[in-house]
Amino acid sequence: MFKRTLLALSLAGLSSYSFAQTIVLNADAALDVKTGKLIQPATLVIEDNKIVSLAKSNKKALPADATVVDLSGHTLLPGLFDMHVHLTGDAHVHGYKRLQRTTQRQAITGVRNAKRTLEAGFTSVRNLGAAGYSDIALRDAIYDGDIPGPRIFASGPALGITGGHCDNNLLTHEHQVVAEGVADGPWAVRAKVRENIKYGVDVIKYCATGGVLSKGTKVGAQQYSLEEMEALVSEAHLRGLTVAAHAHGTEGIKSAIKAGVDSVEHVSFLDDDAILMAKKKGTYFSMDIYNTEYILGEGEKAGILAESLDKERVVGTKQRDSFRKAVKAGVNMVFGSDAGVYPHGDNGKQFSRMVKFGMTELQAIQAATINSATLLKQQSNLGSLEAGKLADIIAVKGNPLKHIDTLENVTFVMKDGKIEINKL
């Protein structure tokens, strides 16, 4: 009986080895995002969920039952990252309309948005702020294969001060409504970080300044003190998590960098000192320079408050100027769209704006691939097309180094070795 069991286990092992799935992608080109060089033509071999090889021609003997995908006329790239999304948010529900959405309803909205995001070629996202840990539930459902969607690095509720950008300021004092992430004082902030970690977050997000879409906050005004920020970042780093700070105003940006955050989000009012600080510390900037067009074009219809529209009219232009300065200075940059403010699935529209306002096509692609993977400490697994890395791969028609807007229409999407979209 014992020998029979050993034999069965041995045969099972041989069976699983023999039937490893092999997929071969043949394309006109593949982009090495680290060097900017195109491999032409390109044959990429995937076994199970990992890249085995990428070469101009495939000389390796392949299994007879390998699945071959013809992507003629296309360029292969690593799966894209969007480092600032709100998957449970609805672009058509802003301001007071949001009071009608329960956490459960937001989670269901997230199911729809996760699918749209994946179909747009974004195989990994950093979700920065979600009520009721709904992004954790979404992340886990995708991981378990229950629903389609990108790989999610989730923050849970964003941390902030009482009455700040990350609080709920839409109701009067009689309702006594306080957002989940509100914490005041260094030790309360540490406790809130610990609570988020307890419930499974991957990253910590907090609000260092006021914001555009919050009621009653001054967009450039610092909120958390430096002491509070240092406590927050210290606690998160102690537990091995990265930290993202929402910061529009100059002093808030500088305080966040001083406190040691891994990335600053939005970064609207930037001065030379802040740029120098970011370069010295290696801080990453995530700047959502597309969504101003949606806010000013469609925001009123979606319920965005009049005061928020007024703030955006000032912030949008300033942020784009700051983006130019940061790129020119060589600050570390990642791709962050703030999708949820505008419709999910349109994430790729930001690429052309990044090029318009100072980046090369390669820099914009690197921001959404290897740079983002490095910020998340995932560069050994994701972010480039190299042997041994997870098979997150997309294909676009033509050459994105010449026409960046090709990334707005992704034809083929593979995530973790599984073909999710093939429009050919």
Q: Of 192, 205, 311, 415, which one is the catalytic site residue?
A: 205
Q: Decide if 338 is catalytic.
A: yes
* Residues found in the chain: 424
H or E element in which residue 310 lies? helix 306-329
Give the angle subtended at the CA of 397 by the CAs of 65 and 50, to the nearest 5°.
40
Phi, psi torsion values for 264, nearest 5 degrees: -115, 135
H or E element in which residue 51 lies? strand 50-55
| Beta strand extents in 57-121 (DSSP E only) | 67-78, 80-85
DSSP string, 275-299: HHHHHHHT-EEE---SHHHHHHHHH
Q: Of 262, 338, 346, 392, which one is the catalytic site residue?
A: 338
Q: How far apart are CA 139 and CA 135, in angstroms?
A: 6
The answer to whether 220 and 172 are in contact (CB under 8 A) is no
Q: Decide if 271 is catalytic.
A: no
The answer to whether 142 and 114 are in contact (CB under 8 A) is yes
H-type alpha helices, 23-73: none
* Catalytic residue IDs: 205, 338
